[in-house]
Amino acid sequence: MYNSIIIIKKIILLAPLLISLSACSGNPSKASPKDTKAADYNARLGAEYTRKGRLNLANEKLQKALEQNPRSADAHHYYALLQQKLGETSTADTHFRKALKLDPKNPQLLNNYGSHLCKNGYYTEASKQFMAALNDPLYTTPEFAYTNAGICIKKSGNVVQAEEYFRRALVSKPAFGSALYQMSKIKYEQGDYARAQAFLQRYHEKNRQDTETTSLCVKINNGLGDTNAAAQCSNRLAGSYSGT
C-alpha cells in the first residue's frame, strides 16, 4: 500500500512535465530573434542568387534559412522558386504550400504559385491563385498577375477571357511588355494583322526586342503582305541568333 502511494505521487509530479513535452513535440519551436534575422538575410541572398542563376549558392543559402527558421514563409517561397527552376516540381509544390500556410495573403507568393500550377496544367486552380493575389488592394504590380492569368487561361482554350486579362494588365501598366506581346500574338492568331502590328509597335516603343517579338514581327508583316518589312524583321532575327 505504501509503495502504491509513492508511485502515484511520482506520477502526479511527472504529469506537468509530460504534458509540456507533448506540447513541444506537437509544435515546432519558434526561432530566436537572432535566428529569424539570419534566416531572413539568407532567404534574400538565396532569392538573389536564384535570380542570377547561381543555383548552387542559392540552394546553400535557402537551406540554411530553412534550418534557422522553419517557419519563414519567405524561405519556403524562395526555395520553391529555386526548386521550380531546377525542375523539381513536387518539391517546389510542397514548399509553395508551406509558404502559403504561413503567409496566405501574400500577393507575390499567390502569383508565383499560380504560375507554378499553370505550368503544370492546373489551369483552374492557377486562376484562383491569380485572382486571390489581385484581391489585395495593396498589391503594387497587378499587371503581372493579370498577364499570368491571361497566359494560363489561354492555354485552357478560353481566348476571350485571356484577352480580357491582358487588357486589364495594360490598364494597370500601358507599356507592360509581356501583355503587349501577348495581345499582339492573339491578334495575329485571329488574323487581325493590323491590330497585331499596332500592339507590337507599342511593345517596341518601351521594351527591348528579343527573338520571340522579332519572329512575330516577321509573321505579322508577311500577313500584311509587306515583304520588305518582313525581311527587315528577318534580318534582325538572324542578327540576334548570330549574336551581332
Q: Is residue 149 part of a domain?
A: no
Could you tell me if residue 195 is inside a domain?
no
CATH of the domain at 40: 1.25.40.10
pLDDT grade for 8, boundaries at 50, 70 and 90: very low
Q: Does 38 fall in a domain?
A: yes
Q: For residue range 172-213, what is the model confidence (pLDDT) as tens digits?
A: 999 999 999 999 999 999 999 999 999 999 999 999 989 999
pLDDT at 243: 52
- Average pLDDT (38-58) is 97
Residue 56 lies in a domain: yes
Q: State which residues form the domain around 88.
A: 34-104
Look at residue 177 and tell me if it is in a domain. no
Q: Is residue 125 part of a domain?
A: no
| The total number of structural domains that make up the chain | 1
Q: Is residue 180 part of a domain?
A: no
3-state secondary structure the chain: CHHHHHHHHHHHHHHHHHHHHHHHHHCCCCCCHHHHHHHHHHHHHHHHHHHHCCHHHHHHHHHHHHHHCCCCHHHHHHHHHHHHHCCCHHHHHHHHHHHHHHCCCCHHHHHHHHHHHHHCCCHHHHHHHHHHHHCCCCCCCHHHHHHHHHHHHHHCCCHHHHHHHHHHHHHHCCCCHHHHHHHHHHHHHCCCHHHHHHHHHHHHHHCCCCHHHHHHHHHHHHHHCCHHHHHHHHHHHHHHHHCC
Classify residue 127: in a domain, yes or no.
no
pLDDT at 236 (0 to 100):
80
pLDDT value of position 234: 87
